[in-house]
């Protein structure tokens, strides 16, 4: 039967996907169709606007490559990445936040306390802490995959002047669960605006700056891994981060080094990570 109303068409499309063999895909298909059709009806979407949306998504796909994921950036600036984090939070574990578009697998294994970057990358900083389970027991053999931008606001994959895997490293804890690495104090940086997401931000009247942070993905055997950040408490963009990634528990003081700290660092920040079972 030919649909003559939006409601009839939505019912027909839902029925067409109702036979999906697995329950979870059926649920996701149905919810997507309902909300997508409701959006079009509520806004009285025009053919020109529909085509503009298609062109936007096409441009986002064309901007993706092995070192950049424009769709992750789009998810970030719309708050979807942070929303998924909130929905799937583990009680008692370190809060997660956005992966970001510049994660690169295969970072080099480094010795505990080793320097990740170069002197010209920024102000020398020591990051240290422990990895534990939710009961406070230290986790031996926990892995910390760390990455960040240099003081020019660029990641190595954006900057041909930086060597590959600059300011990236993988560290493994010992029996006491302790970790430490030397890096540079993070800085605010603009997310890429040379693609369609940049146009979206401009059209929404939003700035394109991220609050200063260091990325970390922390994992351990028989534990749920967490992808998170260490934010600088003195940064001006904590309240307006372009990708809604800031969480209070992840904001840490980068204090000036004291006489008791290593002589080769200017700042020290302490950050403990807790992994759920």
Residue 142: pLDDT band with limits 50, 70, 90: very high
Q: Number of structural domains, the chain?
A: 2
Residue 217 pLDDT exceeds 90: yes
pLDDT at res. 9: 96
Residue 53 lies in a domain: no
10 and 133 in a single domain? The answer is no
pLDDT tens for residues 180-210?
Answer: 999 999 999 999 899 999 999 999 999 999 9
Q: Give me the domain span that covers residue 260.
A: 80-275
Query: Mean pLDDT over residues 35-46, rounded?
Result: 98
Joined tokens for residue 7: 């409601």
Residue 157 lies in a domain: yes
Residue 62 lies in a domain: no
E strands, 209-272, in order? 209-210, 213-219, 226-232, 251-252, 255-256, 267-270
What CATH number did the domain enclosing 141 receive?
2.60.130.10
pLDDT at res. 95: 95
Angle of helix 47-63 relative to helix 70-77, nearest 10 degrees, comes to: 120
Query: Mean pLDDT over residues 27-37, rounded?
Result: 97
This model's pTM is above 0.95: no
């Amino acid at each position: 039967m030919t649909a003559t109303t939006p409601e009839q068409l939505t019912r027909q499309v839902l029925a067409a996907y109702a036979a999906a063999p697995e329950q979870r895909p059926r649920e996701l298909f149905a919810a997507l169709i309902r909300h997508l059709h409701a959006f079009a009806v509520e806004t009285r979407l025009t053919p020109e606007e529909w085509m503009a949306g298609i062109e936007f998504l096409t441009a986002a796909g064309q901007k993706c490559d092995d070192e950049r994921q424009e769709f992750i950036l789009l998810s970030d600036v719309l708050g979807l990445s942070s929303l998924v984090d909130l929905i799937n939070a583990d009680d008692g574990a370190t809060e997660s936040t956005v992966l970001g578009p510049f994660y690169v697998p295969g970072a080099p294994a480094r010795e505990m306390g080793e320097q990740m970057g170069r002197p010209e990358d920024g102000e020398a900083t020591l990051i240290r802490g422990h990895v534990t389970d939710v009961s406070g027991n230290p986790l031996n053999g926990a892995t910390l995959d760390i990455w960040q931008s240099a003081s020019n606001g660029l990641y190595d994959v954006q900057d041909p002047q930086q060597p590959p895997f600059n300011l990236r490293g993988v560290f493994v804890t010992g029996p006491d669960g302790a970790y430490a690495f030397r890096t540079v104090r993070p800085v605010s940086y603009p997310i890429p605006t040379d693609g369609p997401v940049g146009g979206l931000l401009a059209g929404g009247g939003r700035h394109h700056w991220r609050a200063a942070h260091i990325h970390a993905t922390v994992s351990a055997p028989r534990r749920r891994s967490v992808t998170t950040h260490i934010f600088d408490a003195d940064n001006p963009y904590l309240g307006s981060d372009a990708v809604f990634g800031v969480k209070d528990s992840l904001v840490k003081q980068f204090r000036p080094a004291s006489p008791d700290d290593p002589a080769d660092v200017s700042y020290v920040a302490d950050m403990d990570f807790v992994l759920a079972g």
